[in-house]
Every structure is written in structure tokens, then in C-alpha cells.
């Protein structure tokens, strides 16, 4: 895309806050690379009524194509969708929405696919690995399901909210009855530790996983993209662990996001 015209399709990255997001830059570069007449911008909306109003506006905009949905809206936007993919329905979370020609909204969940693809592109093997997953929100749901589909042997989930923790583990067990799952059991030996929370966006955020649980040769991975070196990754490096930054998750799903958003 060389210029924005009346024919240019509009897209959004929807979250709050949005100052840290990298998706518009990446997607606009991909639009240009594939000669697609589209533009993506960041849209900030708080949860609740503001989110509902924004989605209602998307329905009314006939030149709107869809949005990438980020923190904190991945679970809250589910009820605002008219149609869900099977994986989004099973996980109860959405990270992309598409406006169909009739104004209806279709939601899908590509976070987990992107995260697993990012690990695999970095040469990591997931089958039979034991994973420590911090978080039980939308990103954690997506990643947990994708890890289970990739054949990990065990997932330990930690989260501050017991209700969300119980809900994620229940969904996992219902969808993957043979998967070994535990809650808040940090005594387990883990091969991979993953932060699937928003902790790390701000400099003074507490660590999502305490340093004493970071032991080599563990791989420590992030979903937070900015800053690229979060407090957790710094602590993991000091502990002698291998690290995997959040940008790999976005890179791993860019093509899938493009295909979903431009399918209407």
C-alpha cells in the first residue's frame, strides 16, 4: 500500500493500553509486501461498555475489515461475536475478529498457534515436554490448548485468580482428557516456563514466576512483546536459562492473521 484512499480497507489492533503494541507496524508491512490495500491502526478501549461501543461501531463501518484483539479484551469480546471458530469456542477466548459482509462479527483464536509456531521456528521440541504456564486469561487459554495439541506431556498452571485458574484447567481436562494438568504446583520439574500474563509491560511489574523457579536448562518464554527484554527474561538470563521473547508469537501468526482478516 502506497497511499490511503477511499477504497482502503480499515483494520485495528484493539486493546488497552495500546502504546506498546507492534501488530499495526507488522501488519502494515505485510499488507505492503502482499500488495493488499489495507491499513491497521491501534484502537484503545477500556473493558465493558467502551469495548461494546467500539465493536458496535465496527459493525456499522462498511469499509472495516477486522481487528487483532489484545490485552485485556480476549475473553470479554467473546460475547460480542456472532460466530466463533471451534477453538475459540472451546477456549472461551478470541484474538482476531472479522467483520463479515452482513455486519456480523466472526472471532477466532490464533495466539496459541502463533506461540507454538514461534517456538518451533526457534528449533524447540514440544512433544513430551513439561510446561509451567503463568496466567489463565485469553492468551494463556490459547497457548495451553495449542501446547496440548502439540503433544506436551504436562502443564502446570499458576494464576492469582482461583476462578480463572479453575476454569482454564476444567477446559483443558474436558478437551484433552489424557493430558496431565496441575495447579500452582511449582515443585514439578519443568522444561519450559511461559509468562502468558501482562506482567512485564511496566518496569515496576512483579515477576510472574519467582526467580527460584527458574533453573537451567529450562527455556523461559514470554508473550509480552515490549519491552523485548522483560524483567522475567532478564531474571531467566541471570539464572542461566535460555530465553524466548514475545515477538516470536506475533511473527509466528502474522500470515494466519492476514489470511483470517482478508477472507471476507
What pLDDT sits at residue 1?
53
What is this structure's pTM?
0.81
What pLDDT sits at residue 14?
98
Domains and their CATH numbers in the chain: 9-109+251-261 (3.40.50.10860), 112-249 (3.40.50.720)
Lowest-confidence range among 71-75, 128-132, 213-217, 220-224? 71-75
The whole-number average pLDDT for the span 230-238 is 97
DSSP string covering the chain: --S--TTPEEEEEEESS-TT--HHHHHHHHHHHTT--EEEEEEE--TTHHHHHHHHHHHH-TTEEEEEE-TT-TTTTGGG-SEE-HHHHHHT--SEEEE-TTS-EEEE--HHHHHHHHHHHTT---TT-EEEEE--SHHHHHHHHHHHHHT-SEEEEE-S-HHHHHHHHHHHHHH-TTSEEEES-TTS--SEEEE-SSTTSSTTPPPSS-GGG--TT-EEEES--SSSS-HHHHHHHHTT-EEE-THHHHHHHHHHHHHHHT--
What pLDDT sits at residue 64?
98
What pLDDT sits at residue 111?
86
Whether residue 92 is predicted with pLDDT greater than 90 in this model: the reply is no
* 168-224: pLDDT as tens digits: 999 999 999 999 999 998 877 899 999 999 999 998 999 999 999 999 999 999 999
Which of 7, 9, 74, 127 is labelled catalytic?
Answer: 74
What pLDDT sits at residue 187?
78
The whole-number average pLDDT for the span 228-256 is 94
Band of residue 242 on the pLDDT scale cut at 50, 70, 90: very high
Respond yes or no: is residue 173 known to be catalytic: no
Amino acid at each position: 500500500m502506497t497511499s490511503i484512499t477511499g477504497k482502503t480497507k480499515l483494520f485495528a489492533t484493539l486493546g488497552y493500553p495500546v502504546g506498546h503494541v507492534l501488530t499495526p507496524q507488522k501488519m502494515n508491512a505485510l499488507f505492503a509486501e502482499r500488495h493488499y490495500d489495507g491499513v491497521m491502526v491501534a484502537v484503545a478501549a477500556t473493558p465493558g461498555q467502551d469495548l461494546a461501543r467500539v465493536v458496535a461501531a465496527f459493525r456499522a463501518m462498511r469499509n472495516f475489515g477486522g481487528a487483532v484483539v489484545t490485552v485485556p479484551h480476549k475473553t470479554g469480546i467473546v460475547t460480542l461475536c456472532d460466530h466463533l471458530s471451534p477453538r475459540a469456542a472451546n477456549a472461551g477466548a478470541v484474538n482476531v475478529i472479522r467483520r463479515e459482509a452482513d455486519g456480523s462479527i466472526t472471532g477466532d483464536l490464533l495466539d496459541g498457534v502463533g506461540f507454538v509456531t514461534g517456538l518451533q521456528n526457534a528449533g524447540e521440541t514440544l512433544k513430551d515436554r513439561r510446561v509451567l504456564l503463568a496466567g489463565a486469561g485469553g492468551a494463556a487459554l490459547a497457548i495451553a490448548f495449542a501446547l496440548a495439541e502439540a503433544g506436551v506431556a504436562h502443564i502446570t498452571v499458576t494464576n492469582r485468580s482461583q476462578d480463572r485458574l479453575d476454569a482454564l484447567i476444567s477446559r483443558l481436562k474436558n478437551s484433552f482428557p489424557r493430558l496431565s494438568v496441575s495447579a500452582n504446583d511449582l515443585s514439578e520439574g519443568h522444561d519450559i516456563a511461559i509468562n502468558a500474563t501482562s506482567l512485564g509491560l511496566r518496569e515496576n511489574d512483579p515477576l510472574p514466576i519467582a526467580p527460584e523457579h527458574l533453573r537451567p536448562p529450562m527455556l523461559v518464554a514470554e508473550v509480552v512483546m515490549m519491552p523485548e527484554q522483560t524483567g522475567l527474561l532478564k531474571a531467566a538470563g541471570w539464572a542461566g536459562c535460555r530465553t524466548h521473547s514475545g515477538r516470536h508469537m506475533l511473527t509466528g501468526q502474522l500470515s494466519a492473521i492476514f489470511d483470517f482478516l482478508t477472507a471476507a
